Amino acid sequence: MKKTLLVTLDFFPTIGGIATYWERLGMYLPSRQWVVLAPPLEKDAPELSANYAIIRRSFLTRFFFPRWVPLFFHVLTVCRKERVERIIVAQILPIGTVVWFLAKVFHIPYIVSAHGLDIAAPLTNPRKRFLCSRILQSAQWVIVNSRATEGVVRAYGISEKKIRFVYPAPSITPALLSQKKEKTSAIPTTMQGKTIILTVGRLVKRKGHAFVLRALPGILAALPNVVYCIVGDGHYRDELIALARDLNIQDSVFFTGTLSSAAIAQWYDACSVFVMTPEDSAGDIEGFGIVYLEAQSFGKPVIGTRVSGVVEAVLDGATGVLVEQRNTVEIQKEIIHLLIDTEYAKKLGEAGRQRVTEEFQWKHQSEKLEYLLSL
Domain boundaries, the chain: 4-169+361-374, 174-359
- Taking alpha carbons only, the member of 179, 172, 149 closest to residue 362 is 172
What average pLDDT does range 349-357 have in this prediction?
Answer: 98
Q: Give me the pLDDT at residue 183, please.
A: 56
Percent of the chain scoring above 70 in pLDDT: 98
Supply the Cα-derived Rg of the chain in whole angstroms: 22
* Distance linking the first and last C-alpha atoms of the chain: 8
Q: What is the pLDDT of residues 180-219, one digit of tens each?
A: 555 568 899 989 899 999 999 989 999 999 999 999 999 9
Q: Give me the pLDDT at residue 309, please.
A: 87
Fold of 4-169+361-374: Rossmann fold (3.40.50)
CA 127/CA 133 separation, integer angstroms: 10
Residue type, 141: W
Q: What is the pLDDT of residues 9-18, one digit of tens each?
A: 999 998 778 9
Enclosing H/E stretch for 196: strand 195-200
What average pLDDT does range 35-62 have in this prediction?
Answer: 93
Q: Give me the pLDDT at residue 181, please.
A: 53
Q: Give me the pLDDT at residue 134, please.
A: 97
Q: Residue 275: helix, strand or coil by DSSP?
A: strand
Judge whether residue 153 has pLDDT over 90. yes
Q: Give me the pLDDT at residue 282, please.
A: 65
What does the mean pLDDT of the chain come to?
94
Given this structure, which CATH class describes domain 174-359?
alpha beta
Q: Do domains 4-169+361-374 and 174-359 have the same CATH topology?
A: yes
Q: Give me the pLDDT at residue 283, please.
A: 64
Q: Residue 154: helix, strand or coil by DSSP?
A: helix
